[in-house]
Amino acid sequence: MKIMRYDPKDPKIKALITRSHLEYMEAVAIVQPILKEVKKRGDEAVIEYTEKFDGVRLTPEEIKVEESEIKDAYTKVEEKILNSIRLARDNIKRFHEEQLRRLPKHWKIEVMDGIEVGEKISAIESVGCYIPGGKASYPSTVLMTAIPAKVAGVEKVVVVTPPPLSPTILVACDMAGVDEVYRVGGAQAIAALAYGTQTIPKVSKIVGPGNKYVLAAKNLIYGIADIDFPAGPSEVLVIADNKANPSWVASDLLAQCEHDTNAQAVLITPSKELIKSVEEEVKKQAQKAVRKEIVEKSIENLALIYAENMDRCIEFANHYAPEHLEIITENPEAIAGLITNAGAIFLGAYAPVVAGDYATGANHVLPTGGAARFASQLSVRDFLKTTSLQKLSKGGLLKIRKCVEELARNEGLPSHAESMKIRFE
């Protein structure tokens, strides 16, 4: 745990904001040969790397999860968990259906007499959802990735996730309307979705969070398939004032710490007393953590920052561009209005990140590592694409003839100019 004073010039503050890419570059070197081998050898390479990294030896027939296995999973999940997945699914579906309702389906404008230009919006045909595994099971991420894809109208949604699979993952896949599930994870799963194998289909877009190897693989295959955005280790920034409950703040910080050892949790406040209280609470609560080994390692990344005033807290937040931002202050809405960079904002003491992780309906797949400066939460928009429509009459074309011919010749493309000229000879 690090306690520091906010100073934009302080190297420690700069390191928090930039989140070094050294580990990512190391991951790229490891991932590149995996992508190459999966592209070359398909299922054979996928099976080989699954055994190497996950310790599970698959046969080609076991890569795809059968429907009977998914149906059987319902008998292995407690009813209270099934009901929780249903409630989360319903809220997530409602939220994303409203997103879709507010988007234009088709529009056009007459830019000049006889020249009509517009857009048609259609869904991407196939999507692969990466669901992390290993340290924990994430049925919520199944819901957050697959539901908006289905609401957008994606015809084929497939899930890849590391073995062994938990029944709750399979149940969530079924409830979310996933078409196919494959028990493959890591960089080899991303490669399989990008290139296609004998068993796993090639998809047009890959979404979902993962570790640094998954992140590296997604970035490397971009262009072969589309991806959502950088979604690496989880992070939270809490802006709090002297009225915030230190026990609650500490609990929210530790909730992020338990994700994995690379998770980052930060508190910034103009209250030195709150920092002292939160520090004590973090130490006390960490001793009771179930995932104590992960939490204790992750706490090394935890930072408690004192700022002179709330304006400085806001300044840091916009530079840091957190995945999750909690605002636990007297007037959180006013502060939120000044935030320009954040994946998701949680307003007030009764809006912890964990609520959005599971059941508010808003998406929990968010840009990390400062990518909130230019990226947004996963949404139905990520599964839609636009196509321009252009209709011209002879009179409309005549109005721009001279413009087109002059620009074409200026660019050294005489055949372009001729394509226009020939229509008026």
Residue 89 lies in a domain: yes
| Residue 258 DSSP label | T
> Which of 229, 257, 290 finishes a domain?
229
Q: 201 and 244, same structural domain?
A: no
- Same domain, yes or no, for 247 and 299? yes
State how far the Cα of 53 lies from the Cα of 56, in Å rounded to an integer.
Answer: 8
My answer on whether 308 and 259 are in the same domain is yes
Amino acid at 423: R
pTM, two decimals, is 0.91
Is residue 354 in some structural domain? yes
79 and 33 within one domain: yes
Residues 123 and 214 occupy one common structural domain: yes
Distant-in-sequence, close-in-space partners of 223: CB < 8 Å, separation ≥ 6: none
Query: What are the tens digits of pLDDT across the range 163-194?
Result: 999 999 999 999 999 999 999 999 999 999 99
What is the rounded distance in angstroms from the CA atom of residue 60 to the CA atom of residue 23?
33
Q: Are residues 187 and 253 in the same domain?
A: no
pLDDT tens track for 36-93:
999 999 999 999 999 999 999 999 999 999 999 999 999 999 999 999 999 999 999 9
Asked if 285 and 210 sit in the same domain, the reply is no
| Inter-helix orientation angle 272-286/246-257, to 10° | 50
Q: What is the mean pLDDT of residues 131-141?
A: 85
Residue 367: the pLDDT is 92
- Are 184 and 297 part of one and the same domain? no
d(CA 105, CA 282): 49
Tell which of 177, 195, 229 closes a domain. Answer: 229
Q: What CATH number has the domain bearing residue 185?
A: 3.40.50.1980
- pLDDT at position 260 is 82
Specify if 301 maps to a domain: yes
Burial of 387 (0-12, 13-18, 19+ CB in 10 A): exposed
Residues 38 and 161 in one domain: yes
The answer to whether 324 is a known catalytic residue is: yes
Q: Which two three-digit tokens encode residue 137?
A: 């099971």
Using alpha carbons, select from 31, 400, 377 the residue that is nearest to residue 186. 31
Q: Band of the pLDDT at 308, cuts 50, 70, 90?
A: very high
Residue 23's pLDDT is what? 66
Q: Closest Cα to residue 401, out of 116, 393, 389, 109?
A: 393
Q: Is residue 34 part of a domain?
A: yes
**Residue of 323, 326, 333, 416 marked active site:** 323
Is residue 379 domain-resident? no
pLDDT for residue 404: 97
Burial of 302 (0-12, 13-18, 19+ CB in 10 A): buried
CA 89 to chain centre: 18
Least trusted range by pLDDT, from 131-135, 149-153, 154-158, 195-199: 131-135
Residue 361's alpha-carbon distances to 23, 29, 153, 191, in angstroms, are: 33, 37, 18, 30
Q: What is the CA radius of gyration of the chain?
A: 25
Amino acid at 208: G
Q: What is the pLDDT of residue 135?
A: 63
Identify whether residues 92 and 189 lie together within a single domain: yes
Quick check: 18 pLDDT over 90? no
d(CA 306, CA 415): 65
Task: Give the per-residue pLDDT at 396.
Answer: 97
Indicate whether 146 belongs to any domain.
Answer: yes
Residue 264 pairs in a beta bridge with: 235
Q: How many CA atoms lie within 13 A of 354 on its CB side?
A: 13
What's the whole-number mean pLDDT along residues 366-378? Answer: 93
pLDDT tens, 147-171? 999 999 999 999 999 999 999 999 9
**Residue 176: which domain range?**
26-229
Residues 322 and 360 in one domain: yes
DSSP-assigned letters across all residues of 9-60: T-HHHHHHHH---HHHHHHHHHHHHHHHHHHHHTHHHHHHHHHHHH-----G
**CA separation for the pair 93, 82 (Å, rounded):** 16
The total number of structural domains that make up the chain: 3
Evaluate whether residue 19 is within a structural domain.
no
Which band of pLDDT confidence, cut at 50, 70 and 90, is reported for residue 292? Answer: confident
- Residue with the two structure tokens 């099934």: 82
- Percent of the chain at pLDDT > 70 equals 98
225/238 same-domain check: no
Using alpha carbons only, give the angle 343, 345, 349 rounded to the nearest 5 degrees.
Answer: 150
pLDDT at 21: 56
| Token representation of residue 20 | 């070094």
> CB count, 10 Å around CB of 110?
12
Residue 378 lies in a domain: no
Supply the mean pLDDT for the chain. Answer: 95
Cα(204)–Cα(59) distance, integer angstroms:
26
CA 335/CA 314 separation, integer angstroms: 7
Residues 14-37 have a mean pLDDT of: 84
**Residue ending a domain, choose from 206, 229, 252:** 229
